[in-house]
Amino acid sequence: MPEIKMIIQHQVGLHARPASLFVQTAKQFKSAIKVTYGARTANAKSILSVLALGAGQGAELDIQADGEDASAALQAIESLIAGNFGAAT
């Protein structure tokens, strides 16, 4: 199963606008996408579970995708995080 590791640089962490963008990006794909932070794992298409990760600035995320468009999904998520969510607030 393809997997990437990313660090959240954005100052608000994976909250607010970055969290919305993250979930909206995940939702564009058919694959099941899981995001793990520390001991918690969330469905990347669920805003509530993503928020409940409590992933702040500097959090290291483990993101896995499973499905036909898994690598495209991870690519999209990777560029979102690497691009610092378009520096949205």
Partner 1 sequence: MKTLHGIAASRGIAIGPAFHFRQADLRFERLAQNDAAVEWARFETALEVARNQLIHIRARAAAESGPDQAAIFEAQTMMIEDPELLAAVQAAIQEAGLSAEAALHDSAETYAQSLEALQDEYLSARAADVRDVATRVLRVLLGIGESPAARLAVPSIILAHDLTPSNTVLLDKSLVLGFCTAAGGATSHTAILARGLGIPAVVGATAQVLNVAEGDCLIVDGERGLVLVEPDAETTRLYEQRRGRTAAALQHALDRAGEPAITADGRRVEVVANIGNVEGARAALEAGAEGVGLLRTEFLYLERATLPSEEEQYQAYRVIADLFGSRPVILRTLDIGGDKELPYLRLAPEANPFLGVRAIRLCIPRPELFKPQLRAALRAAAGTNLKIMFPMVATAGEIRQARAIVAACRAELKAEGYALPDRMDVGIMVEVPAAAVMADQLASEADFFSIGTNDLAQYTMAADRTNTGVAPLASAFQPPVLRLVKQVIDAAHARDKWVGLCGELAGEPLAIPILLGLGLDEFSMNPPALPLAKHIIRSLTMASAREIARAALELGDADGVQALVRERIPALNVDGPSLL
Q: Are 50 and 35 in contact (CB under 8 A)?
A: yes
Q: Which residues bind partner 1 (CB under 8 A)?
A: 12, 15-17, 20, 23, 43, 45-49, 51-52, 54
Q: Out of 10, 15, 34, 45, which one is annotated catalytic?
A: 15
Q: Least distance from C-beta 73 to partner 1, angstroms?
A: 15
Q: 49 burial class (0-12, 13-18, 19+ CB within 10 angstroms)?
A: middle
- Please, which residue, 4 or 47, has the CB nearer to partner 1? 47
User: Could you confirm whether 10 is annotated as catalytic?
Assistant: no
Residues 58 and 79: their CA atoms lie apart, in Å, by 17
Residues identified as active-site: 15
